[in-house]
A = this chain, B = another copy of it.
């Protein structure tokens, strides 16, 4: 796909890891999908685990950049959060590009790669906390503990990402999650006229 073998390997590994998880993903499969020889992978990555870690870092970096862009381009805090949620929920996010595998298969890998998670969570939490606080300042939200809530949302999005790798993308499921998070967005709003 890419003429740069390192990138080709990284892309292929993202897909395979997301689809099969760490243990079941075989280096041979990754090599085949990347269109390189099995040994070539070891020219670019120390080990299978190092390759996974690189995938995770890359996925996280991309997700973070996207998040920043979304915050920048949406008019209101509510829209910013909705964009983030939909971004994380939508199935395309996970499969083909391999974005956000970060956690997807951490289920199985060693302690080393798990160390990455807390840092990733903090980075996204910081951004979302700022969004919430801006919404509070603007009188749009009423939230007692914005940092806690932001972190909770990040954790949920990570969870969703994990499970999304385990199942076929399914329209029903996505719609259900969207409906559920609309309720959550409602819960943020400060003033609400009686629904009626």
Do B191 and A177 touch (CB < 8 A)? no
User: Does A156 count as interface, using CB distance less than 8 angstroms?
Assistant: yes
Residue in A172, A183, A186 with the greatest tally of chain B CB atoms within 10 Å: A183
- Residues of the B chain whose Cβ atoms lie less than 8 Å from the Cβ of A103: 163, 166
Name 9 A/B residue pairs within 8 A (Cβ), A-sorted: A103-B163, A105-B108, A143-B183, A149-B183, A151-B180, A158-B163, A183-B184, A184-B184, A190-B195
- What 9 new A-B contacts, CB under 8 Å, besides A21-B108, A156-B177? A23-B23, A104-B107, A143-B183, A144-B179, A156-B180, A159-B162, A159-B163, A182-B187, A191-B193
For A, the interface residue count at a CB cutoff of 8 angstroms equals: 55
Do A142 and B195 touch (CB < 8 A)? yes
Contacts A23-B21, A194-B193 known; A152 to B166 CB distance under 8 Å? Answer: no
Do B191 and A107 touch (CB < 8 A)? no
- Residues of the B chain whose Cβ atoms lie less than 8 Å from the Cβ of A160: 155-156, 159
